[in-house]
Structure 1
Amino acid sequence: MHVQSHWIETQDGQRLNAKVWGDASKPALVLVHGYPDNQHVWEPVIQTLLEDFYVISYDVRGAGDSSVPKRIKDYALQRLSLDLENVVDQILPDRTFHLAAHDWGSIQSWESVTDARFKQRILSYSTISGPCLDHAAFWMRKQFLKDKPKFFKQLTKSWYILAFHLPILAPTVWHLFSPQAWTKVLQRLEQKDHLPSNEKISADGRYGIGLYRANFIPRLTRPRQRFAICPVQAIVLKKDNFVSPELIDEMPNWVASFSKIEIDANHWAILSQPENIAHAIAQFALAHNETKK
């Protein structure tokens, strides 16, 4: 695959590594990776998407080849949204684009998808295993009052969030993961051999903890009303070990044009079922490809 690399400078002095794939005359599609990944996790999906799209991916701050912030507050959702804006302003000036994201990439992308600044730019959003934290907070409050089994089911799946707030233990654990060891974990979870390896897994895991520490407590304790500014598709992974499919139930309350597709897959379906993920993203984006006015 032909790829061009770009360096994006942010207002607070970070450098983001972005990659551009394919034909610029095709509709633009931006992909945002999750945790503890970097943009290379999208490459199996990109192979299929290039038939229809001009694809942009980037390493979020603290991941891959991008620089690492020194302060936890520099991972705040508002700052992550500005990073997306910097990427598209440099690579896609004055162009609209589609957006798709996985895991933490989805969580942080909701900040942009519910921001009026992007109303004339984002044509569609496909979210995979990453709810808006504000929406999740409202959902969990409802479940605690009305359906405690659902509440505790998601709480059990989210054990790692509490672990990531531990000051010494969480970063130290990531030193134990080599690329080979992490790949074996993914292959057991996904029940599939020969998955791509993340050569920077130790650093990606260690530095990306800032995403959780900067955002979970503020958003879950003080949720905001955040309404989507574009059509949203939830790609629901029915066997997801980390995000309950039930969290999708809250989305229609905040999205005027909402649709859902289910895939019989686990959390890292972008690696284990890349063609199915690419097909779901492409079908939704192409159905919403009219330029905004």
Structure 2
Amino acid sequence: MTPAEPGWRRRTVSRGGVDLAVFEGGNETAATLVLVHGWPDTHRVWGGVAALLASEHHLVSYDTRGQGESVTDAADSAFTVEELASDFFAVIDAVSPDRPVHVLGHDWGSVQVWEAVCRPGAEDRVASFTSMSGPHLDHLRWWVHRRLRRPTPRGTAALLAQAVSSAYVPFLVSPLAPWVLRVLGTRDMVSGLRYYRANLRRPGGRLRESRTRVPVLQLVLTHDIAVRRAPLTESDGWAEHLERVELPYGHGIVSTHPEVVADEAARFVRSVEFLRRVQRRP
């Protein structure tokens, strides 16, 4: 089952001059779980995961700006994580105005949701966040800063390892990338380069202290060639409640092992919902 099949409803949520294509399905009486995809994917990447979660969750998936059916010619400046986080809040305000949502993000989907859950008061709108293969960019900058300021052999090795894994980034932010990907890739792949240019070309400036009170489940993919485990651990100091689970899979786990993703996300949603019910008791 995918969000394009009968039984799923498409709606449009507009914000910042962009019409976001939003898809809803599953159990409308259950807690809402929002699925946020990465680059160069669209909402369709969640098809296998959604099929496994639909009976117990009200599911929402949307094409993030510039991807899939959320087409826009906006400039790079419209693709900062701040703009993407505001898109996320616009979507959840539309689909679940009276009840906090749970969120599952992958790749750039996880990056932008990290930005969202670290906004003041986010815990009133987001009940939990399951993160895969995408750190908060501020946490990543802190991780690099600490290891450069007080270098150790272990820290330097971790920096070098992540640098090797991120060696593709200079190409993606270069003027050459759109030309090459137009030939070798897809429209979404080219369009999504604005995510990289808007956020990874930005000057350093003052490090932000980005904290969250939203419960976080961080799924660490030990075979992920793009995001290493070491920088993900920086989030420990910025999240009030963070659980980490290591899984022996690669970056494409959403497509290759949807049952693993669905099981972990559902388990975390159940645990958070149980605690919320306990806390509401007189």
TM superposition score normalised by structure 2: 0.91
Deviation at 1:67, TM superposition (A): 1.9
User: Per-residue deviation at 1:116?
Assistant: 1.6
What's the counterpart of residue 49 of structure 1? Answer: 53
Q: Per-residue displacement from partner, 1:113-162 (whole Å, max 9, x unpaired)? A: 10124221111100000000000011112233232111011011101211
Cα displacement (A) at 1:99? 0.8
For residue 24 of structure 2, what is the aligned residue in structure 1? 20
Query: Which one of the candidate residues 120, 136, 147 is aligned to 1:132?
Result: 136
Provide the identity percentage.
Answer: 30
Aligned-partner SS, 2:226: coil
Residues 1:157 and 2:162 aligned together: no
Q: Which moved more, 1:141-150 or 1:151-160?
A: 141-150
Using the TM superposition, give the Cα deviation of residue 61 of structure 1 relative to its aligned residue in structure 2, in angstroms: 0.4
Q: State whether structure 2 residue 190 is matched by structure 1 residue 206.
A: yes
**Structure 2 residue matching 1:234: 3-state secondary structure:** strand
TM-score after normalising by structure 1: 0.87
Q: Which has the higher contact order (CA 8 A, sep 6+)?
A: 1
* 2:103–2:129 Cα contact (<8 Å) kept: yes
Q: Distance in 1 between the 2:237 and 2:73 partners?
A: 34
Q: Which among 156, 179, 193 is matched to residue 148 of structure 1?
A: 156
- Partner of 1:67: helix, strand, or coil? coil
Q: Give unpaired runs (5+ residues) of structure 2.
A: 2-6
Kindly provide the amino acid, as one letter, of the partner of residue 262 in structure 2. Answer: A
SS at match of 1:116: coil
Point out where structure 1 has 5 or more consecutive residues left out of the alignment.
Answer: 179-201
Asked if residue 86 in structure 1 is aligned to residue 90 in structure 2, the reply is: yes
Q: 69-78 or 271-280, which moves further after superposition?
A: 69-78
SS in 1 for 2:17: coil
The alignment status of 1:30 with 2:34, answered yes or no, reads yes
Question: Who is 1:223 aligned against?
Answer: 207
Question: Quick check: 1:135–1:223 contact (8 Å CA) kept in 2?
Answer: no
The CA distance in 2 between the partners of 1:203 and 1:78, in whole Å, is 23
Question: Does the residue aligned with 1:223 lie in a helix, a strand or coil?
Answer: coil
Partner of 2:177: 170
Answer yes or no: is the 8 Å Cα contact 2:26–2:56 preserved in 1: no
Q: Distance in 2 between matches of 1:275 and 1:64?
A: 24
Residues matched between the structures, number: 268
2:8 to 3, 22, 27: 3
Tell me how far apart the structure 2 counterparts of residues 101 and 142 of structure 1 sit (CA, whole Å): 26
Matched-pair contact (CA < 8 Å) for 2:213–2:241: no
Aligned residue identity for 1:92 = S
Deviation at 1:211, TM superposition (A): 0.7
Q: Following the alignment from structure 2 to structure 1, what is the Cα–Cα distance between the partners of residues 266 and 203? A: 31
Q: Which residue of 2 aligns with 1:251?
A: 235
Provide the rounded CA distance (Å) in 2 between the counterparts of 1:223 and 1:3: 42
Report the counterpart of residue 121 of structure 1 in structure 2.
125
